[in-house]
Structure 1
Amino acid sequence: MLNYNPQQRLPTSEELPCSDDTPVDHELQNTIPNLLRAILLLIWAAREDWFFGVDMGIYDRSRQILQTPIVPDGFLSLRVQRHKKPKGRLSYVLAEENNIVPVFVLEYVSKTYGGEYDRKMEDYARLGVRYYTIYNPDYWQRDQHQPLEVYRLTNGNYERQLGEPVWMPEVGLGIGRELGVCEQWQRDWLYWYDQQLNRYQVPEELIEQLQQQLRQQELRAQQAESQLQQEKKRAQQLAEMLRRLGVDPDSV
């Protein structure tokens, strides 16, 4: 049982462990949440009221006392500072974030089962996370679940949201899967979607689109230059014909 002492000084985010030191056992545990974060940096570039953490410890008061964080693969908080302190956040301590709980949490299920469908679900419900997303692309049959499951917290319990992508009104985003390319790797990735369930672009796609627009603009410029040269040549030919007829082309 946790002994509560209101006079007890609690460790700060700089003093707390930044993670639980559990190593990831698949590179996608970092790649997928980092892709979601990269998309947010594009679509919410002008906003300063959000933070997306990757493999970062979250502490409520009890975990702060025990110095045992809960560490999702990714999480999103709204109505918080995007950049905090010159060196950034070392962990996410609710007491230092106006007690704002992340609105979205992502867990990636890898070869080693980590309690995503039971223990962690209970932990996030207790914490008050509105949307809990479990991505299990490789072991969903083993675990007798679907590759992507999104749960919404209602009256203290998680209810699975049907359909895909899933629109999350409290977040202002949808979440879903789609075949795509990230880091030159073609596979199913998680993406954000708008309210009409149109997928947001990833940085690589935006770069390719801008490069294509630049190539098209350069081609149009080359075509315009070629047309201008042809018109100059035609004008020179007409001037020469006038001279042969005894007419000064400059007097026309």
Structure 2
Amino acid sequence: MDADEPAYIQVANRSIAYRLRKGASPTLLFLPGYASDMEGAKALALDAFADRRGLAMLRLDYSGTGSSAGRFEDGTLDRWLAEVLAAIDALTSGPLIIIGSSMGGWLALHATLDRPNRIKALVGIAAAPDFTDWGFTDAVAAEAAGIAPGFWESGQRLRLLKDAINVECPVRLIHGEHDRDVPVEIAMRTLAALRSADVQLTIIKGGGHRLSEPHEIDAILRTVAELLESNS
């Protein structure tokens, strides 16, 4: 196999592409956003950071995205969460710091609830928990539900913001001031819902949703570095 090609893990007969960098603990785990993949700017920057630090890092493509098999329209939040948990269990050992972008932040929260003894800290980059449940008119919600009904239904089942989020580990939320996809209000609601006593929200002035400009990526890497120091 070409060294540049990803490896694959089978999850419920789905072929899930991943890249695993060997290194020291804790392992960094990056979860991309909706319709994104593991080759984006933030994922690559974190991988280079892990390389410089000699850390292990895992990133993956959900089924139907990137290099993974399947149809994107068959994707659901619970299916993609199952793939993340399977990858954690099969491909990593020891503590993890989980970093989720947009929808990946929603998945990261659920993964932390499901693997509390493994995940020692969480970073949400423009995290979008419950995005099937806010920010839509009835007409737009109906259209979205018609386009991707499975995803919509699973999202509604996996809502988090209606109750306390029983995540106890340190959480760092990074959000753009001018994020038009995930309003800053969602970051504030997430902060309020989290049970952890160690939660910080960083709002990047002028930042949008992608948070992929060099100074924005630097802020993400500084956040991860600080968590590594506090977990050492």
Q: TM-score, normalised by structure 2?
A: 0.37
Which gives a bigger RCO, structure 1 or 2 (Cα 8 Å, sep 6+)?
A: 2
Bigger CA radius of gyration: 1
Considering fraction of residues, name the structure with more helix: 2
